[in-house]
Structure 1
Amino acid sequence: MAYNIPSYVETIINSLEKTGYNAFLVGGSIRDIIIGKKPSDYDISTDAKPDEIKEVFKEFKTIEVGKKFGTIIVVQEEGAVEVTTFRREGEYKDGRRPEFVSFSKDIKEDLNRRDFTINAMAYNEKTGVIDPFGGKGNLENKIIKTVGNPENRFREDYLRIIRAVRFAAQLNFDIDEETYLACNKYKDFLLNISIERVRDELFKILLCEKPSNGIELLKDLGILKIFLPEIIPAIDFNQHNPHHDKDVYNHILCVLDNTPPVLQVRIGALFHDIGKPHTLTIDNEGVGHFYGHDKVGAEIVSEVLRRWKCSNELIEKVSTLVREHMTQHANYKEKGLKKLIARVGEDEIFNLLALQKADRSCSNEKADISSLLERENKIKDILYNKEAYNINQLDLDGRDILELGYKEGKIIGEILDYLLEQVMEKPDLNKKDLLIKNTLKKFPLK
């Protein structure tokens, strides 16, 4: 097969080889090229040492991000490429870092330290593909398998357990049986890994084309119970509702798979109904209701994301989506839609709609999202026409009101709130002279 490598990457390989060194494209970029996917980045391994790499590329901008581990970034206009010296590693004592890292002259030694066979291949035009662990065959057979003994590989870095799940989910592959058993055996040691590293892998799983595959693997391996015990009550939880043909957990998975790959939307999908097992009531006709599950879910997701050490910005975005997802059932007129935009934010309103459309589509086979599509068009019109939904969008502000002769105090806020209510109903009123007229009429000066 043809290995189409960008010219700026070939420049680096050729420059090293012309200077007498060996250089190979390695890792995920080879994997992606073989399966017909464009790599997101390119990594090169070489027998040149860091100072020698810098010397070869002295005419380029270089960045030392991990010089003691042999990594130099070579920057070109088309992109930056990590160039790393062949390495061998000592024994891992803490399930995270090797006792020592030393440089090697053998590409196979370098490949031997990598996690999975599909990431342990190397290529250059002169040599072709170097594949000492059968990575190409495992790609063809759609198998995730460790390089060497899986127990040894996971003891080196327990995060590789979740990475196995992530690659299986991203590529729609199966995990090799021996590798799977080792994942299961060592899963509890994931608690020794920093939550930030675990969280980042979980987020990559959520952003897969079909994230439910990854969530199901995490459940089957018992990893979901470790890092997201809040979702366990949703498994097999009967909704006792004629509008839902799935239990809560399988409904969540369906919504996950039907939302766009936007992080806050996918997290919102994962948590949107997590409050249902805590809020079930059954009426006299045996129908289940979940009053307030949106508010309970928003509290749960905020707590989990804080535990995962997420940013306040992400926590706010996700908790808002979860808290507002049931507004899909509200019969909003334009004023109500404007208030919804104000609560959710112009940047997030369409993310909320994406979550709501997936939520409704996954409720039952006869679900109809036409009302949400109509709402989406109305919101687009409101934003396109720049109709006010926020006090800051009024054609009059607090200073203008003070100049009319009103005194500072809560009256200013009351006036602005009143004017916004008027303008949200009748956008044509958002003109300074009309706003002043309405102010003086409603709040006459004494």
Structure 2
Amino acid sequence: MKIINLPQPFKDALPILEKLRDAGFEAYFVGGSVRDTLLNLPIHDVDIATSAYPEEIKNLFSKTVDTGIEHGTVMVLDHGTGYEITTFRTESTYQDYRRPDKVQFVRSLDEDLKRRDLTINALALKTNGEIIDLFGGLKDLDKHLLRAVGVANERFHEDALRMMRTVRFASQLDFKIDNETLTAISQNAALLSKISVERIRVEWIKLLIGKNPRAGLEDFLKTKLYMYCPLFELKEAGLEKIKTIPNLKLDNEEQCWTLIATCFELTAEEAGQLVHAWKCSKELKMNVTKAKKAVEAMLANELTPYIQYLTGRDMLEVACRVVQLINITDYTSMSVMLAYEGLPIKSRKDLVVDGNVLRQFLNIEPGPQLGKMLIQLELAVVNRKVRNEKLALLEYAQKLIVK
């Protein structure tokens, strides 16, 4: 097979490959960019594989960065763009089921492609557009099939994260997993416990926001991979609930975790603990906690103006999306967002008085009392008990002191 018109990212990188080839080395485009081109999907970064060893690459190009030189990867900088070039390699045993004990550089493309995870990712593209396919990847692309290169058990023992990548691709590409490959994932699912939570999380979120998350979730459950994910072991029923949601479409990580927490029947505090267990950022934990509180209020028909205020526009949109997906209330995104936009203030910064003004006017020292008063002013303004005007707020604050 031959690609007649190479996408622009490949054309931009052609001088890199040609320079390697002119120096007597083999060089090809490999991996996801080749796969996505054949699927008519947009491509971003292009990866290059070559028979040149790292030091040979560095000698050829004037601007390089050792991004992963111990594994044969050197980044070449060309007119402001970085291209990762990796030497053909074979790998020894994998004692930690993630990183090889030893990497050996080779001159053979065949040897390099043998170590890749799936046939659809083991394709190489020549500068003239010709596809090199050693493992039936083109046929699997046509059949929308995910199949491990060679012996599936060996591929997953080399890198246990490949199991999560496979179920993620089932969602992302809406492909079916080959029976032998699926069986191998089931047999080796426990190896996922050897992989860092951060790496699992990347694949998990990509699965949920993929083209067909229900397909990915079905394989995730069928193979028992969920048993080896943080705080998921006893949550099969919740995961099944997510899987059965019609028109399941998620757009961001906050939506993912808020929906998970809702289907797991977690409190907002427990949702924060779940997100923490998955090594998410403090900001994400805070956002999911806010969104989950808003969901709880909606489900109880108690979404007050103050809860809307505390939640904020972005997390209210997340909460609305989750409630829309589980489809058990009359709340609509439009009504909630219109109510939010009608709030007198959207944050403490919108108050026309601040802590310094209050302290000087009331002659009080900085401390918990001042912070509590600002919260009370926010609540009063949001609930329209007092106008957001300086005199009105100071008079209200004076009454709070008297109380």
TM-score, normalization by structure 2: 0.88
- Deviation per CA, 1:174-210, whole angstroms, max 9, x where unpaired? 1111111111111122222233322222222122123
The residue identity in structure 2 corresponding to 1:23 is: A
Q: 1:414 to 1:130 in 2, by over 3 A?
A: closer
Pair 1:314-2:304 in alignment: no
* Offset of residue 12 of structure 1: 1.5
| In the alignment, structure 1 residue 265 sits paired with structure 2 residue 267 | no
Does residue 164 (structure 1) correspond to residue 154 (structure 2)? The answer is: no
The question of 1:407 aligning with 2:388 is answered no
CA distance in 2, matches of 1:46, 1:55: 14
Distance 1:395 1:299 in 2: 32
- Number of paired residues? 396
1:301 to 236, 253, 271: 271
Partner Cα separation in structure 1 for residue 135 and residue 15 of structure 2: 28
Task: Could you tell me which runs of 5 or more consecutive residues in structure 1 were left unpaired when the two chains were aligned.
Answer: 236-248, 276-295
Q: Given that residues 169 and 211 in structure 1 are in contact (C-alpha distance below 8 angstroms), is that contact kept between their aligned partners in structure 2?
A: yes
Partner Cα separation in structure 1 for residue 383 and residue 181 of structure 2: 62
The alignment partner of 1:88 has SS state of strand
Distance (Å, rounded) in 2 between the aligned partners of 1:199 and 1:42: 24
Q: Is the deviation greater in 114-123 or in 313-322?
A: 313-322
Output the amino acid matched with 2:250: P
Q: Given the superposition, is the C-alpha separation of residues 274 and 22 from structure 1 closer, same or farther in structure 2, using an over 3 Å criterion?
A: same
Find the counterpart in structure 2 of residue 13 from structure 1: 17
Conserved? CA contact 1:8–1:78, under 8 Å: no
Q: CA deviation at 1:21?
A: 2.1
Percent identity of paired positions between Structure 1 and Structure 2: 30
Does the C-alpha gap of structure 1 residues 411 and 144 become closer, same or farther in structure 2, counting only changes over 3 Å?
Answer: closer
Corresponding residue for 1:397? Answer: 354
Task: Indicate how the Cα distance of structure 1 residues 126 and 170 shifts in structure 2: closer, same or farther if over 3 A, else same.
Answer: same
Cα deviations across residues 388-408 of structure 1 (Å, max 9, x unaligned)? 244442111232233335333
Letter in 1 for 2:339: K
Q: Paired residue for 2:296?
A: 326
Change (3 A) 1:92 1:342: same
1:4 — aligned with what? 7
Alignment of 1:351-430 (within 5 A): 351-360=318-327, 363=328, 369=331, 371-382=332-343, 387-408=344-365, 412-413=370-371, 415-426=373-384, 429-430=387-388
Give runs of aligned pairs for residues 153-192 of structure 1, distance below 5 A.
Answer: 153-192=155-194
Measure the CA separation in 1 of the matches of 2:60 and 2:68: 18
Match of 1:344 among 298, 303, 311: 311
Q: 1:443 to 1:29 in 2, by over 3 A?
A: closer
Q: Which residues of structure 2 form unaligned runs of 5+?
A: none
Alignment RMSD (CA, Å): 2.8
Amino acid at match of 1:320: K
| Residue 56 of structure 1 pairs with residue 56 of structure 2 | no
1:70 aligns with 2:72: yes
Change (3 A) 1:202 1:257: farther
- Matches of 2:336 and 2:19 in 1, distance apart? 58
Which position in structure 1 is the counterpart of 2:103?
101
TM-score (norm. length: structure 1)? 0.80
Residue pair 1:341, 1:389 contacting (<8 A) in 2 also: no
CA contact (8 A) 1:118 1:144 kept: yes
Give the AA of the match of 2:390.
Answer: K
Question: 2:220 is matched with which residue?
Answer: 218
1:274–1:297: 8 Å Cα contact kept in structure 2?
no
Structure 2 distance, partners of 1:98, 1:414, is 56
Give the whole-Å Cα distance in 1 for the aligned partners of 2:272 and 2:124: 43
Q: Which residue of 2 aligns with 1:240?
A: none
2:122 is aligned, of 115, 120, 131, to: 120
